[in-house]
Amino acid sequence: MSPLIAVSENIAQARQMDDGSPRLPWSSFADSFKSRIYDRCLVNRPFLIYYDDQQLHRAYSYAEFGTAIQRAATFLHD
């Protein structure tokens, strides 16, 4: 399984820092997102499950959600 930072660990790290900001293993949100969608342990696990008021159901894995986000970003960029 992918190593995730525990909340209690983040709090402990933040309390030990002079400037109060926690040190995370990513330099940006994009890096954090990419580390999840390309993680072999997570790619097929559910990321988002959607139900609407007509009981429409859609589940996205990490890989599927990442692909959808990348397509949207490419569309907006172009």
Confidence grade of residue 74 (pLDDT, cut at 50, 70, 90): very high
Query: Quick one: pLDDT at residue 32?
Result: 83
Domain ranges of the chain: 27-77
Report the alpha-carbon distance of residue 37 to residue 39 in Å, rounded: 6
End-to-end CA distance of the chain: 36
Confidence grade of residue 63 (pLDDT, cut at 50, 70, 90): very high
Report the alpha-carbon distance of residue 50 to residue 33 in Å, rounded: 20
Query: Quick one: pLDDT at residue 21?
Result: 65
The set of residues, in sequence order, having a beta carbon less than 8 Å from that of 9 and lying 6+ positions away, is: none
- Condensed to tens digits (0 to 9), the pLDDT of residues 5-53 reads 566 676 666 666 666 566 778 788 888 888 888 888 888 999 888 888 8
The set of residues, in sequence order, having a beta carbon less than 8 Å from that of 2 and lying 6+ positions away, is: 36, 39, 41, 42
Q: Is the pTM of this model over 0.85?
A: no
